[in-house]
Amino acid sequence: MAWRCGGKTNAELIENLFKNNLITSSRVRDAMLNVDRAHYCPDPEYAYEDSPQSIGHAATISAPHMHASAAESLLPYLKPGCRVLDIGSGSGYLTAVLAELVSPQKESSADAGLARVVGLEHIKALRDLGERNMSKSERGREMLKDGKVSFVVGDGRKGWTQGEDGEKGWDAIHVGAAAVELHQELVDQLRSPGRIFIPVEDARGGGQYIWVVDKDANGSVTKKKTYGVRYVPLTDAPK
Ligand code: SAH
């Protein structure tokens, strides 16, 4: 069914995903309408298809319905002023969509504080790719310039604590590669309340599943195993 959800333009792709219930939130639809997927796909001819695409370094830009699903899962924690960590940012596409989601809806509305979205990669060439792709639009260039979005190099299994703005913790953490375990450092870096969306390998070899990890306002953590997926692994950086 996913093959039907492509389009000739970015708007057509997103509207088709919405019509087919692969995007159900209008906030996520609007955010994805603001990010041209062709800027993030090495082969722009297939940018508006609902399919993943290789971006080199054994990485892929996920299919747009997967990005939509991740954004929808994190949505209650994506508000103006929120701090978001995108681990395994790869093409930078989801980092850009997440940045849209923590931006105020109307140009005129006051900024609810310093929203920050950090794209974290363990391969420098991909860190640079994300930044370069985002720089292709004026909106992306502005978000990079004013510090709303930054791309950094590090091991995503350890999260990211080197904020220059003195703020700590993340309202939402997205992990774009499959972990062998639910890394405690990520749970520790989550704010109360906050949410992690993370694909984790089943310990008994049963494939990968998305886990949604919530920390409530009192700091208590609940973990929920949801649907099966196929992501590239969250690994050591290549030597
Ligand atoms: N969200 C990205 C997904 C890219 S594929 C997109 O849609 O474009 C997964 C990414 O995870 C790859 O870019 C890979 O380099 C990165 N990755 C794998 N292990 C990592 C680690 N330990 N730390 C940070 N990034 C990692």
- What are the catalytic residues? 62
Whole-model pTM over 0.85: yes
184-200 confidence digits (pLDDT tens) = 999 999 999 999 999 99
52-93 confidence digits (pLDDT tens) = 999 999 999 999 999 999 999 999 999 999 999 999 999 999
Is pLDDT above 70 for 126? yes
Asked if residue 199 has its Cβ within 6 Å of ligand 1, the reply is no
Is pLDDT above 60 for 110? no
Q: Is 13 exposed, middle or buried (0-12, 13-18, 19+ CB in 10 A)?
A: buried
Q: How much is the mean pLDDT over the chain?
A: 93
The share of the chain scoring above pLDDT 70, in percent, equals 94
Q: What is the number of alpha carbons within 13 Å of residue 63 lying toward its C-beta?
A: 16
The partner residues of 117 in beta bridges, in order of sequence, read 84, 149
Residue among 66, 84, 89, 158 to mutate when testing ligand 1 (max atoms within 8 A of CB): 89
Closest atom of ligand 1 to CA, residue 62: 7
127-168 confidence digits (pLDDT tens) = 999 999 999 999 999 999 999 999 999 999 999 998 766 778
Closest atom of ligand 1 to CA, residue 95: 1
Measured in Å, residue 111 CA sits from the centre of ligand 1 at 30
Q: Which residue has the higher pLDDT, 5 or 67?
A: 67
* Atom 11 of ligand 1: nearest residue by CA position: 88
Is pLDDT above 90 for 2? no
Is pLDDT above 90 for 99? yes
Closest atom of ligand 1 to CA, residue 55: 8
Measured in Å, residue 157 CA sits from the centre of ligand 1 at 11
Pairing, β 83-87 against β 116-121:
parallel
Residue environment code for 160-186, b if the CB has 16+ CB neighbours within 10 A, otherwise e: beeeeeeeebbbbbbbbbbbeeebeeb
Which pLDDT belongs to residue 168?
A: 87
Asked if residue 123 has its Cβ within 6 Å of ligand 1, the reply is yes
Return d(Cα 42, Cα 3) in angstroms, integer: 19
What own/partner pairs with CB < 8 Å and gap ≥ 24 does 220-228 have?
A: 221/187, 223/182
Measured in Å, residue 90 CA sits from the centre of ligand 1 at 5
Asked if residue 177 has its Cβ within 6 Å of ligand 1, the reply is yes
Taking residues 33-38, what's their average pLDDT? 98
Which pLDDT belongs to residue 108?
A: 47
pLDDT band at 49 (very low <50, low <70, confident <90, very high): very high
Is pLDDT above 60 for 109? no
